[in-house]
C-alpha cells in the first residue's frame, strides 16, 4: 500500500484512484468467500470465516468496507456490526450485510445495528459491485467533507473547533500533567502589510510546519486564530517543555521563508505556556493561563516564552 502511494505521488497522479481499496469479507462458508474473491477481483480482499476473526483482524488492519454475513456460529453478523459501531476505531467503516435472511425483521435489525446496505443471497454479482462502488464513493466523500470541516485549509492544522474537541479528550483522559502552549507570530500584520497576504500565508505555512514537526507525536496542535496556534502536550516535564518550546522558538527565528523572486523572510514567535495543577479546573482555564502568559511575552518584548504554573492573571488579546 505504501509503495503504491509513493509511486502515485512520485508520478503526480491522483492518489485516491491509484490506491486499491481493501474489503473485509466475513462469511462462515468457505465457498461464499471464494465467490466473493472472484467477484471483487479489483479490490484487495481480506477473508474472515467468523465474527471473532473479523474483530481480531480489525485490531491491526485498516479496511475501507466490510461485507458481513449474518448467520454465523457463536457470533452473528448483527453482534459483529454492533461491536464495530461501538468502537471508535471501526465505527466509520461501511458495513454491507450479505445474507440469505430476507425477512423484514432481519433487514430492520441490520440497519439498526449500523449497516449501510442489505443484500440477499442469491445476489447478482453486478448489482453487488454497483452497491460496493456506491458505498465506497460515499465513504470517500464523507472523509473529504470531514477533513474540510475539521482542518484549517491553509496550514492543514486542526481548526479551532477540532482543536477543542481533541483537546478536551486529551485533557480529560490524561493521567499526567498537560502543558498548554499558545504561540503567536510576532508582528504578523506588518508582514502582511509590507509583503502582501500571499507572503503572510507562506509564513503561516512554514511556521506551522516547523512547530508540527518538533512537537511530540501525540500532541494536539490547532490554528485557533489568524496567526495564533495552540498546542496541548501530555506527560511532559516542565524542563522538557521549556527545552522544546525554546527549540521551536529558535528554529522558527532561523527560518528563511522564500516568498518568490529570490526574496526571503524571517519572523519570530512569542509563546505562553501553562500547565495543569493548582488553580486549573478545566481546559478553558488552562488555555486562559497560557494566553495570559502569551500576553506577557508580547508585552515584554516578543520572541520569547513565558511560563505560568498557577495564578489568576487575565489578559486581553494582543493587537497583533
With respect to Mg ion, which residue has the nearer C-beta, 81 or 267? 81
Could you tell me where the DSSP H helices lie in 41-112? Answer: 51-57, 77-86, 104-112
Least Å distance, CB 73 to Mg ion, is 8
d(CA 69, CA 100): 9
d(CA 156, CA 147): 9
Least Å distance, CB 28 to Mg ion, is 4
Q: Which of 140, 227, 228, 320 is catalytic?
A: 227
Supply the angle between the helices 188-195 and 197-214 in degrees, to the nearest 10. 140
Q: Are 306 and 294 in contact (CB under 8 A)?
A: yes
Strand partners for 22: 44
For Mg ion, the binding residues in 225-284 under the rule CB under 5 A are none
Among 40, 51, 64, 69, binds Mg ion (CB under 5 A): 69
Q: Are 88 and 95 in contact (CB under 8 A)?
A: no
Among 1, 5, 15, 71, binds Mg ion (CB under 5 A): 71
76 binds Mg ion (CB under 5 A): no
Residue 185, phi then psi, degrees to nearest 5: -75, 130
With respect to Mg ion, which residue has the nearer C-beta, 28 or 227? 28
Q: Which range in 68-76, 196-204, 276-284, 288-296 contacts Mg ion by CB under 5 A?
A: 68-76
Q: Which range in 6-14, 70-78, 104-112, 150-158 contacts Mg ion by CB under 5 A?
A: 70-78
E strand or H helix that includes residue 273: strand 269-275
Least Å distance, CB 83 to Mg ion, is 17
Q: Which range in 23-31, 59-67, 232-240, 287-295 contacts Mg ion by CB under 5 A?
A: 23-31
Annotated active-site residue 227? The verdict is yes
With respect to Mg ion, which residue has the nearer C-beta, 52 or 311? 52
Least Å distance, CB 84 to Mg ion, is 17
Q: Are 179 and 273 in contact (CB under 8 A)?
A: yes
With respect to Mg ion, which residue has the nearer C-beta, 69 or 117? 69
Angle at 171 between CA 169 and CA 176, to 5 degrees: 130
Residue labelled with grid coordinates 440497519: 111
Q: Which range in 28-36, 48-56, 125-133, 306-314 contacts Mg ion by CB under 5 A?
A: 28-36
28 binds Mg ion (CB under 5 A): yes
With respect to Mg ion, which residue has the nearer C-beta, 28 or 64? 28
With respect to Mg ion, which residue has the nearer C-beta, 24 or 232? 24
Contacts of 9 by beta carbon, 8 Å cutoff, 6+ apart: 15
Looking at beta carbons, which residue is closest to Mg ion?
A: 71
Give the helix, strand, coil percentages of the chain, each rounded to 5: 45, 20, 35
Contacts with Mg ion, residue ranges (CB under 5 A): 28, 69, 71
Catalytic residues: 227
Amino acid at each position: 500500500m505504501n509503495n503504491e502511494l509513493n509511486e502515485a505521488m512520485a508520478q503526480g497522479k491522483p492518489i485516491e484512484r491509484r490506491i486499491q481499496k481493501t474489503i473485509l469479507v466475513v462469511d462462515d462458508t468457505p465457498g461464499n468467500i471464494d465467490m466473493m474473491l472472484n467477484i471483487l477481483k479489483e479490490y484487495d480482499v481480506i477473508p474472515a470465516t467468523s465474527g471473532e476473526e473479523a474483530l481480531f483482524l480489525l485490531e491491526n488492519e485498516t479496511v475501507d468496507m466490510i461485507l458481513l454475513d449474518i448467520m454465523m456460529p457463536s457470533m452473528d453478523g448483527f453482534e459483529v456490526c454492533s461491536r464495530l459501531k461501538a468502537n471508535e476505531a471501526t465505527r466509520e467503516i461501511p458495513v454491507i450485510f450479505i445474507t440469505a435472511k430476507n425477512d423484514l425483521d432481519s433487514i430492520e435489525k441490520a440497519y439498526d445495528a449500523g449497516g449501510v446496505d442489505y443484500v440477499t443471497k442469491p445476489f447478482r454479482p453486478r448489482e453487488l459491485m454497483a452497491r460496493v462502488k456506491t458505498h465506497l464513493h460515499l465513504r470517500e466523500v464523507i472523509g473529504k467533507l470531514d477533513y474540510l470541516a475539521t482542518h484549517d485549509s491553509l496550514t492543514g492544522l486542526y481548526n479551532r473547533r477540532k482543536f477543542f474537541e481533541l483537546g478536551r479528550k486529551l485533557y480529560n483522559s490524561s493521567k499526567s500533567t498537560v502543558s498548554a502552549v499558545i504561540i503567536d507570530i510576532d508582528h504578523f500584520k506588518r508582514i502582511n502589510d509590507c509583503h502582501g497576504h500571499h507572503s503572510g500565508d507562506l509564513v503561516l505555512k512554514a511556521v506551522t510546519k516547523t512547530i508540527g514537526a518538533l512537537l511530540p507525536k501525540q500532541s494536539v496542535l490547532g490554528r485557533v486564530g489568524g496567526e495564533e496556534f495552540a498546542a496541548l502536550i501530555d506527560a511532559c516535564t516542565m524542563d522538557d517543555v521549556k527545552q522544546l518550546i525554546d527549540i521551536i522558538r529558535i528554529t522558527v527565528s532561523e527560518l528563511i521563508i522564500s516568498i518568490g523572486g529570490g526574496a526571503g523572510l524571517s519572523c519570530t514567535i512569542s509563546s505562553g505556556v501553562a500547565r495543569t495543577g493548582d488553580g486549573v479546573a478545566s481546559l478553558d482555564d488552562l488555555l486562559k493561563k497560557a494566553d495570559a502568559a502569551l500576553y506577557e511575552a508580547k508585552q515584554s518584548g516578543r520572541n520569547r516564552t513565558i511560563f505560568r504554573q498557577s495564578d489568576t492573571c487575565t489578559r486581553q488579546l494582543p493587537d497583533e
